[in-house]
Amino acid sequence: MPGNSFGQIFRITTCGESHHGAQGVIVDGCPALLDISVDDIQKELDRRKPGQSFITTDRRESDIIHILSGVFKGKTTGTPILLLAYNEDMRPEDYELLKNIYRPSHADYTYQMKYGIRDYQGSGRASARETLARVAAGAIAKKYLQQKLNIEIFSYVEQVADIRTDMDYHEISAEMIDKNIIRCPDANVANKMIALIEKVKKEGDSVGGIIKGVIRGVPIGLGEPVFDKLSADLGKAMLSINAVKGFEIGKGFASVLMRGSEHNDLLHIQNGKVNFTTNHSGGTLGGISTGQDIYFRVAFKPVATIAKMQSTITSEGTSTNLEIKGRHDPCVLPRAVPIVDAMSALVVMDHYLRYKTEKEKT
């Protein structure tokens, strides 16, 4: 089955390319009677859209969302929801140079080998413009989880290159994240990150970093025991985002430096309730939510499209040099924050509905 859909009960299917008519998503399995409006979705899309600051791409898109089905008088009807945003600032002619050239670290070569054809105009489906559809769908899931279950989802830029904030996520609120253009809640560190990205952009290069995701208020019991662990599905969701090269949950790779006696999250009774002394596991045990905060980190590589001269090959197999001109993000992280939020919401929403269905059967 082609990999354009995500989720089992709360299921989305995205469509659209970077320099064609529109980006779209069908959201199936959303419960009825959820209050939802264009504004609920638009505020999330505005955080992702291009051209929002001098450290993002110069492409200008309003990304106005249209709700074409599944909502009646401001409430979901339980039927499929169709969301559509039309592309506006399209410049397919900018990509004619790339018709017969494979860009380094892009999907050009692999798409050509897999399908025998590729959309070289802004990478087609391989473009991060596809994530507009995920953010639109994720806004619905996020609204449901907050309104019905009081689940809070947020993420922020923790690191750009070797510049990192040491702020504890417990000290961070969602309101702090959008106070600067890099979406790092640590103001002093944010200024250093912005200065680095500006420098890298002037050099025609790019830089990567890490986004930290947090999910608060998840009930105990979400996640399946083997292949559909909550942690595994979060990993799959994050690794499906363009430019993501790494995922860790809880202490992650740092846990290899710990002993079992240090890493184990001990249980105890407090005020008549089960509690944990620590949360090194990141809110899941055996792939099932513990009721603690879920926290994870997502590593993004430097954007592949840069303005420096690079060596590559043509589709005929000859060597050539390539210097790419155009409108591209020198660092994807500030625009990727709402994408991480959206994928978190989609995973938790789907697992909650699966959990609810299982409970109703027993």
The model's pLDDT over 22-74, given as tens digits with 9 standing for 90+, comes to 999 999 999 999 999 999 999 999 999 887 888 887 777 889 999 999 999 99
What's the pLDDT score for residue 1? 54
Distances 273 to 50, 55, 184, 268, 270 between C-alpha atoms, Å: 47, 48, 35, 8, 5
Q: Domains, the chain, ranges and CATH?
A: 5-361 (3.60.150.10)
Nearest to 241 by CA among 154, 335, 161: 335
Q: Which residues contact 110 (CB under 8 A, 6 or more apart)?
A: none
The model's pLDDT over 234-290, given as tens digits with 9 standing for 90+, comes to 999 999 999 999 999 999 999 999 999 999 999 999 999 999 999 999 999 999 999
- The torsion angle over the Cα atoms of residues 255, 340, 174 and 162, rounded to 10 degrees, is 60
Considering the entire predicted model, what is its pTM?
Answer: 0.96
What's the pLDDT score for residue 142? 98
Backbone angles phi, psi at 123, to 5 degrees: 80, 0
Nearest to 89 by CA among 171, 21, 3: 21
Provide the 3-class DSSP secondary structure of residue 305. coil
CA dist 72 and 341 (Å) reads 26
What's the pLDDT score for residue 326? 67
The model's pLDDT over 94-116, given as tens digits with 9 standing for 90+, comes to 778 888 999 999 999 999 999 99
* Dihedral sign computed on CA atoms, order 301, 333, 106, 24: positive
